[in-house]
Structure 1
Amino acid sequence: MKSFLNLTGALAVLAAPALAQTAPAPSLTASALAVGSTAPAFKGQDAAGRPVELRQLLKKGPVVLYFYRGQWCPYCNKELSQLQDSLQVLTAKGAQVVVITPETPANIDQTVAKTKASFPIVHDQNLTIMKAYKTAFVVDDATAKKYLGFGVDLKKANGLDQNILPVPATYVIGQDGKIKFAYFNTDYRHRTSVRQVAQAL
């Protein structure tokens, strides 16, 4: 596997976002959920095995929900590192941060090591959450082959028999269960800032 710096450069020069080259199955059509709509309920476990359930979290305050691609993605690592560095900006507003990923628990451990993340990261084992929030899509064979050439085996990284990734979306969910803010960009190189999320809170 190439060095992290080489991988960063290699991923950065991919001509187009993976989603633009996909032919997703009907059940895996990625699209943004509308602001004002009801956020889909979900439950799962974080990397430490602790339960994470939206309904319980909303009893304490608003929830900021992030989706990320994997520990191999330098853009995701940068986003999560910045989120960790500025986490108090969100928690000071009563918000709870939850992160969803398709990658296996072992790879989540690598993400935590790289980003120092202290917030819950949930392994979406059956893609249940990603499907509910319509972030999941099937990566086309040509793009998956390019990633494999950079040492990134998506099937192995996620423990799946398909090459599936999420759009790295961000949602702010109010205590009423409604989506207050949505950032959904199929270009994985672009992410919302903590400042924008804080303003939405």
Structure 2
Amino acid sequence: MNNCLLLSFATLALALPQASHAQQTSARTAAPLAAGSVAPAFKGKDAAGRPVELKQLLKKGPVVLYFYRGQWCPYCNKQLSQLQDSLQLLTAKGAQVVVITPETQENIGKTVEKTKAAFPIVQDRGFVIMTAYHTTFTVDEPTAKKYRGFGVDLRQANGAQEDVLPVPATYVIGCNGRIKFVYFNPDYKQRASVHRIAAAL
């Protein structure tokens, strides 16, 4: 319905070592947008090439905005699978779900295959949306090297020149365009449940 509230969550990696807070905030730094602030406008395309624009989505109801790291992250895959399985809990309240990732379209296809995701997943080229929502952080070289040791080359996975990831955050954006609820946790093992987001809505 028209109760527009913000979702919550966190997203990070595989059985990979967790970056320390200091590592996560070096170079590009991440910090949550405040509840009550105006949600930054964004445009993008989903995996099928269909346009996704916040302004148009909000005409239909509240938006739940998820950020995730990539198809290589088992915690992300588990979360998106659970989101797909319980999607009706959110859509029944008029909410629309949009997922943002830095990974390439090819890797988004792998994510869809693994999670059966039926909601739009938008590739954030140049980290524009991630930066607007303050989820972007630079992974330092020692950590990026450890990731590569596990077979995860972040630059290759994202088609980028930097080792950058989003803090797995979730924002619920009300129909008035303002952020109603935020879940922002650098610990990739901690995620807000779909039931918690549904309750927020």
TM-score (norm 1): 0.91
The 3-state SS of whatever aligns with 1:98 is strand
Question: 1:60-99: per-residue Cα shift (whole Å, max 9, x none)?
Answer: 0000000000000000000000000000000000000000
CA distance in 2, matches of 1:19, 1:84: 30
Q: Provide the residue aligned with 1:48 in structure 2.
A: 48
SS at match of 2:181: strand
Match of residue 195 from structure 2: 195
Question: Which residues in structure 2 correspond to 1:12-161 (within 5 Å)?
Answer: 14=17, 16-17=18-19, 19-22=21-24, 24-25=26-27, 28-161=28-161
Distance 1:18 1:69, change over 3 A: farther
Contact 1:104 1:158 in 2 (8 A): yes
The amino acid that maps onto 2:62 is P
State the structure with bigger RCO (CA 8 A, min sep 6), 1 or 2. Answer: 2
| Displacement after TM superposition at 1:23 (Å) | 5.2
Query: Which whole-Å deviations, capped at 9, do the CAs of 1:153-173 have from their partners, x for residues lacking one?
Result: 000000001100000000000
Checking the alignment, whether the CA contact within 8 Å between 1:22 and 1:137 is kept in structure 2 is: yes
Paired residues of 1:67 and 1:170 also in contact (CA < 8 A):
yes
1:4 aligned residue: none
Counterpart residue type for residue 70 of structure 1:
G
RMSD: 1.3
Aligned equivalent of 1:181: 181
Structure 1 residue runs of 4 or more that deviate by more than 4 Å after TM superposition: none
Matched positions, count:
189
Q: Give the aligned partner of residue 166 of structure 2.
A: 166
Gaps of 5+ in 2: 1-12
Q: Give 1:24 deviation, angstroms.
A: 2.9
SS in 2 for 1:127: helix
